[in-house]
Amino acid sequence: MRWLSIGAVAVGLASFVAAIDPIEVYGNKFFNRDGSQFFMKGIAYQLRPDDPLIDTEQCRLDASLMRELGANTLRVYHVDPEADHDGCMEAFADAGIYLMIDLDTFDTYILPTTLTWNKTMYDRYAEVMDTFHGYDNVLGFFVGNENIATRTDSPAAPFLKAATRDMKAYRDGRGYRSIPIGYTAADIKELRPMLQNFLTCGGNSSESVDFFGLNSYSWCDPSTYESSTYDQLQEYAENFPVPIFFSETGCIVPGPRIWEDQEAIFSEPMVNHWSGAIVYEWIQEQNNYGIISYGPRVDDLSRNDETVFDGWTRKGTPTPKSPDFDNLKTRWATISPTGISKSDHDTNTLSTRACPSSTEGGWWVVNGNVRLPTIGEVMTAPFETVSSVTPTSTADTGDDPAESDDNNNDEDNGALVAKSTLWGLVFAGVVMGACLWI
Ligand SMILES: *[C@@H]1O[C@H](CO)[C@@H](O)[C@H](O)[C@H]1NC(C)=O
Ligand SMILES: *[C@@H]1O[C@H](CO)[C@@H](O)[C@H](O)[C@H]1NC(C)=O
């Protein structure tokens, strides 16, 4: 019953939230309602662990500076579906800003160490969707973020795909707008391109992700298309079946950032295949990725109130961090890709991806045609494969999954390792009830 009342409220508020046209996916691109292509210039935004979208005044202050920065998208990792988000969603809509929201919470995250996609998790994801589907500036939902990041993690992939299948069915069953649902991956060279291919293979769009986001920190200014290995990311992204974009980017080593990666992403050849980038992150905190600050570091680490948490002020007037903020603003101001119009977008040019096979002794141990788990089903790797499902294509990505002799230095990249570790700490902290936040 609950979804009925929540649904009614959401439909009601859609009528008074500021007019902003919803974005749709067609082929492998995002499109505005007028048929022009939409590219993300995004920022990761999580002022607080539980939900940054409940303090309207704060959202207004931030939205105003984000507009000045030239951002049109936010990425939010955790929200509280019970809270009231009208004020913040309207503040961002007024500033022309869309949101990508993770459906999982700290305790419903799909863990490679506990292979399950069960009713508790499903209900929680559904609750977030119920709460947010009515806002026209919701750009997409994530079923997971970096769930697969180490050598032993790939068995979680069928569970991520099962979550995608079930949330798409839930969305369509409720009659919600076709808000795209996808996954955001850690950029691990040993998992390329198997993970992105697995999530889009099999020829059944009811089970495939609607988009694929890549968290990549491999471009550290100064760099180049080749030495950043963007050329390899590009190779795997060419004519990808669904929109693909950078769901986190912005290496801080050695810093300051001059954002030349944005230049690469928004120019040929990448701009023809990628849908933009989300920069990590808005608030300056312990990890040092922020582009704004709300005040100086606070010495008292135990302080946890409305304003301060974990030694950082998280409320008030945002002050640009120099020179990263201005560098990004200047960079984005020079970038305005036109892309392609929806009517000119020929979806026949898209590739289809073969389901990857497992690589012996490698990072990818899931045979592509595994039967996806049902809700609550206990499955242990290696999974049975479904012989009746055949990949629809030929997947000519020109790549040998076993080959990993590229020169990507993710694992050596302090930025990526540091941040992954931080996220690991977040989850570990929550599991331990320590309420730890980066
Ligand atoms: C689902 O899995 C989570 C994590 O293992 C667990 O806490 C929860 O109780 C499970 N729910 C059901 C219905 O089994
Ligand atoms: C596609 O996937 C959906 C969801 O799993 C399933 O119900 C449907 O039967 C599948 N279609 C085909 C043609 O296999």
Task: Indicate which residue's Cα is closest to atom 2 of ligand 2.
Answer: 206
pLDDT of residue 19: 85
For residue 185, report the distance from its CA to the centre of ligand 1, in Å. 23
Asked if pLDDT for residue 392 goes beyond 50, the answer is: no
Which of ligand 2's atoms lies nearest the C-alpha of 169?
A: 4
Residue ranges lining ligand 2, Cβ < 6 Å? 165, 204, 206-207
Q: Taking CA 146 as the corner, what is the angle to CA 141 and CA 147, rounded to the nearest 5 degrees?
A: 95
Is 248 labeled as catalytic in the residue annotation? yes
Cis peptide before 49 (omega within 30 of 0): no
Average pLDDT over residues 55-79: 98
123 lines ligand 1 (CB under 6 A): no
Average pLDDT over residues 41-50: 96
For residue 360, report the distance from its CA to the centre of ligand 1, in Å. 31
Which of ligand 1's atoms lies nearest the C-alpha of 118?
A: 1
For residue 382, report the distance from its CA to the centre of ligand 1, in Å. 21
108 lines ligand 1 (CB under 6 A): no
Q: Which residues pair with 25 in a beta bridge?
A: 30
Which of ligand 1's atoms lies nearest the C-alpha of 114?
A: 5
Average pLDDT over residues 289-300: 95
Question: Which residue among the candidates 90, 127, 248, 260 is catalytic per the annotation?
Answer: 248
For residue 247, report the distance from its CA to the centre of ligand 1, in Å. 28
Query: Sorting pLDDT into bands at 50, 70 and 90, what band is 436?
Result: very low
Q: What is the 3-state secondary structure (H, E, C) of the chain?
A: CHHHHHHHHHHHHHCCCCCCCCCEEECCEEECCCCCEECEEEEECCCCCCCCCCCHHHHHHHHHHHHHHCCCEEEECCCCCCCCCHHHHHHHHHCCCEEEEECCCCCCCCECCECCCCHHHHHHHHHHHHHHCCCCCEEEEEEEECCCCCCCCHHHHHHHHHHHHHHHHHHHHHCCCCCCEEEEEECCHHHCCHHHHHCCCCCCCCCCCCCEEEECCCCCCCCCCCCCCHHHHHHHHCCCCCCEEEEEECCCCCCCCCCHHHHHHCCCCHHHCEEEEEECCCECCCCCCCCEECCCCCCCCCCECCCEECCEECCCCCEECCCHHHHHHHHHHCCCCCCCCHHHCCHHHCCCCCCCCCCCCCCCCCCCCECCCCCCCCCCCCCCECCCCCCCCCCCCCCCCCCCCCCCCHHHCHHHHHHHHHHHHHHHHHHCCCCCCC
Average pLDDT over residues 188-214: 96
Query: Sorting pLDDT into bands at 50, 70 and 90, what band is 386?
Result: low
The answer to whether the Cα torsion of 354, 358, 362, 364 is positive or negative is positive
Share of the chain above pLDDT 70, in %: 83
Quote the pTM value. Answer: 0.86
- Average per-residue pLDDT in the chain? 86
114 lines ligand 1 (CB under 6 A): yes
CA-nearest of 297, 312, 252, 253 to 279 is: 252
Lowest-pLDDT range of 231-245, 279-293, 294-308: 294-308
Average pLDDT over residues 87-106: 97
Average pLDDT over residues 162-183: 98
116 lines ligand 1 (CB under 6 A): yes
For residue 342, report the distance from its CA to the centre of ligand 2, in Å. 27
For residue 116, report the distance from its CA to the centre of ligand 1, in Å. 8
The pair of structure tokens assigned to 96 is 């022309």
- Which of 118, 121, 124, 378 for a ligand 1 pocket mutation test, highest count of atoms within 8 Å of Cβ? 118
Q: State pLDDT tens for residues 140-159.
A: 999 999 999 999 999 999 99
Q: State pLDDT tens for residues 313-327.
A: 999 999 999 999 999
pLDDT of residue 167: 98
Which of ligand 1's atoms lies nearest the C-alpha of 119?
A: 13
pLDDT of residue 5: 39
pLDDT of residue 419: 40
Asked if pLDDT for residue 17 goes beyond 90, the answer is: no
pLDDT of residue 409: 33
Question: Which residue among the candidates 127, 146, 260, 285 is catalytic per the annotation?
Answer: 146
Average pLDDT over residues 71-78: 98
Task: Indicate which residue's Cα is closest to atom 14 of ligand 1.
Answer: 118
